[in-house]
A and B are shown apart, each in its own frame.
Chain A
Amino acid sequence: MRRSWTGAGSARIVTVTLCLLVTLTNSIGVKAGAFVFAGENLSVDIITHPSNYTGLGGEVTVSVCIDPASANAAAMVIPVKNIVSVFNGFVPRSPNLIFGANNDIPGGQFDFQSLAMHEFGHCLSLAHPNQGVKTGVSGADTNATQSTDGVDNSYNFNAGVDTVDGSNDDVRGDDVNLHYFITGVNNPFLLPAKADATNYTRDLANIPFGHTYPANAARAVGPLVGVTNTETVMQQGQGIDEDQRGLQSDDIATLMFGGTGLDETVGGGDDYTVKLVYAGLTSSCDIVAKADLEPSFASCAFGGIYLTPDLTHAAITSGIFRYNPDAVTWYFNPILACDDIVLDYAHDATIAHTACGEITTTAGFEVGVGGDVTLTGASVTLGPGTIISGMLSIQIP
């Protein structure tokens, strides 16, 4: 958000331009990446939606909170607030992997914010685009594109000519693909303008000529298409001293597809957008973050419910992100990347802000034409979930 003010004395005009990228509500709905619950046990066709989506279009609010009894609860606040801001911002970043001396993580430590981003993604409906660690899957094979093991009950891994698992020339036998891709493109490093059933698919028949399997947005695959240090947040596998705090195109495309709702088409009355709201230190919210000795490292446990009789759409009902505080030396980002903006006399310069949350205002707050906002009171506070698509002008008497 960029803000400036002009004027002096008793009459001041404060102009705030909120970056669209930061404050857009998440539109979820296109078939990219993969969805939790989809697989052989239930159905490969399941598309999962976030908590509180019932099939009705509009804005879906998902609250996130921190269990106050958790170890490190206070240190978790800023990273969690930052994650809320990033998901609400809905902007792909490339590169989104920052290593070693180029990030703020002390050597040998593990970035809590990056980990929590990934786990929150699960609690919002996103699955791994890659195989990840499974029974019978290890090593380089974990980077192969997400799939079932097919009718032969055995994964068929072959990295193809480029020898990179998860790229578009993998040969996968009868493994049933679970990863959505752009029809005729098959490049998860590109963000489509829209993502719905008309252009997003799991069907291998829609792969470009010469490709043999859907590519996933693994860091090793990017260089094959000219992209470096970039990986989908939902790729399983984060390392020590690794900053991955920004979403990647495939994360966003998958959420876009989900946002097309039950008809899987952009423009239907069931389209929705998702807004995360930080609910504070409490255990009463849609996604609870907590420290726990039970997972050896970290996990996200969630429940779900079917939304449609044909069992192809489901919604998360609750989610708990747990991490083991004793597993590694955790690094908690101390820098708030967003803020609860207070516009008052102190704001007498152009300052970029990323809003964390709701706008709260004093009396005299007015919403202008086209989403512009005008304030004629003494101050305005922009808090969690700030959504302003135009210019915010504040008249301070």
Chain B
Amino acid sequence: MTTRMNFLRAMVLLVTLGMISTLTYAQVESSAATFPASVSWDQSPKALLVSYRDIWGEFANQDPTPLIRVFGDGRVLVHYPVYTPRAGEYELWLQTTELEDLLLSLMAKGVATFEPLAAKRSKQLEELSLQEAVLDAGETPELFMVADDSTSVFELHLQDYQVVGAATTSGEVNRTISWLGLGTDARRYPQLASIQQLRNAELEIKALLERDDLWKVR
């Protein structure tokens, strides 16, 4: 058993070293932005500021329309595909201050600065760290996997974003982020700030679905 443990430990270390060597070009974790900050956006009705959808792993031929879209005039459009129990188009309106708060909150959660590659490496290292801890306890590390998890897809378009006293993000923001198994990773790796923040951003966007002023338009 001791031999086996030593072997496992050696394997973990080898893999860890291999991964570290690949990190020379990528920061492991990016820090989230901090307040105070300001944001500006195109306020026209057709200007898409935020969109969100989750791609279901095992579901073929899904409707690619985003579940939630937030436009420059504060309109929030929710699209439930025809195959869902709530099928239809729903709508609500955000006041300018609400919209600004939402955008600033998403930015503060690092949606604009999230680095998928760095987060992926951090996740791998964290997993190895968990296995190391198990080995240190004299136990055999347990593998873990979730099959057919969903992929969260965020899209963000802003004219300008500034953080006072920090240089994390400045200027126009146009980006799309995809992450497989965000909820799963947030639960398994509570220490990884970037993943926690992105999960919090997802929950904040999805909270729009539960608002009382969301009403069906067709």
Contact = CB atoms under 8 A, between A and B. Distances in A.
Interface residues of B, number: 37
Interface residues of A, number: 44
Q: Is the interface of A mostly helix, strand, loop or mixed?
A: loop
A135 B82 CA distance: 26
Given A119-B147, A122-B148, A299-B149, A135 B179 contact: yes
Contacts of B82: 108
Contacts of B143: 37, 42, 303-306, 314
A36 B147 contact: yes
B57 A236 contact: yes
Contacts of A317: 142
Given A108-B82, A135-B178, A311-B8, A294 B183 contact: yes
B4 A309 contact: yes
A234 to B, nearest CB: 10
A138 B53 CA distance: 14
A127 interface: yes
A299 B146 CA distance: 7
Interface string B141-181: 11111111111000000000000000000000000001110
Contact of A133 (B55, B140, B141): B55
Interface stretch (B29-37, B58-66, B97-105): B58-66
A295 B144 contact: no
Interface of B: 3-4, 7-8, 11, 54-61, 82-85, 116, 124, 127, 140-151, 178-180, 183-184
Given A305-B141, A328-B83, 11 more contacts: A119-B147, A122-B148, A127-B147, A128-B147, A240-B61, A296-B54, A299-B58, A300-B147, A304-B145, A309-B4, A328-B84
29 contacts: A108-B83, A110-B83, A119-B147, A122-B147, A128-B147, A132-B148, A133-B55, A135-B178, A135-B179, A236-B57, A237-B58, A237-B60, A240-B83, A297-B59, A298-B58, A298-B148, A299-B58, A300-B146, A300-B147, A301-B144, A301-B147, A302-B145, A302-B147, A303-B142, A303-B143, A309-B7, A309-B8, A326-B85, A327-B56
